Amino acid sequence: MLTPTAYGLAILLNLFIIFIGVRFLVVPRASAAGYGVPAKENGDAAYLTIKGLRDLTYGLLGLALLAFVSARAEAWYMLIVALVPLGDTLIVLRHGGTKAVAFGIHFATAVVVLISAALLFIV
């Protein structure tokens, strides 16, 4: 029972980050607002594209590790990649975003990613 849960959560998280990446590439300003730090109207859109590409790549890499390597490799990946939502928490707080978004979205995501890593280390 634990193995399907561990793999299922990892797949779900990777698909979710792919979705976020694609969303940043397709509707960058709306995505930035959802992230917690709205983009400036005359700001450099390249940074929003970079975030989209980063997230898309992270999601695809996570799925590739699950498909072609092992749960243990994915666990290490999840452990390390949890730094991204932790950093996002600080970015939102530092740049005027709300605590609700910082902790309710980004910090909570980091916790779920760490839970996923722990489950994958167990299986």
Which stretches within the chain are classed as H helix?
A: 2-26, 28-35, 46-68, 71-81, 83-94, 99-101, 108-122
Does pTM top 0.85 for this prediction? yes
Which residue type is seen at 51? K
- In tens, the pLDDT along 20-71 reads 999 999 999 999 999 998 888 887 788 899 999 999 999 999 999 999 999 9
Number of residues in the chain: 123
Contacts of 63 (CB under 8 A, 6+ apart): 11, 14, 15, 18
Structure confidence at residue 60 (pLDDT) = 98
Structure confidence at residue 62 (pLDDT) = 97
Helix axis angle for 71-81 and 2-26, nearest 10°, is: 50
Structure confidence at residue 5 (pLDDT) = 95
Structure confidence at residue 70 (pLDDT) = 94
As given in the structure block, the two tokens for residue 77 are 């990946």
Count Cβ atoms within 10 A of the Cβ of residue 17 and give its class: 0-12 exposed, 13-18 middle, 19 or more buried: buried
Mean pLDDT of the chain: 94
Question: Does position 107 have pLDDT exceeding 80, yes or no?
Answer: yes
Q: What is the mean pLDDT of residues 71-92?
A: 96
Structure confidence at residue 2 (pLDDT) = 83
Using only C-alpha atoms, the chain has a radius of gyration, in whole angstroms, of 15
How many other C-beta atoms are found inside a 10 Å radius of the C-beta of residue 118?
Answer: 13
Structure confidence at residue 40 (pLDDT) = 85
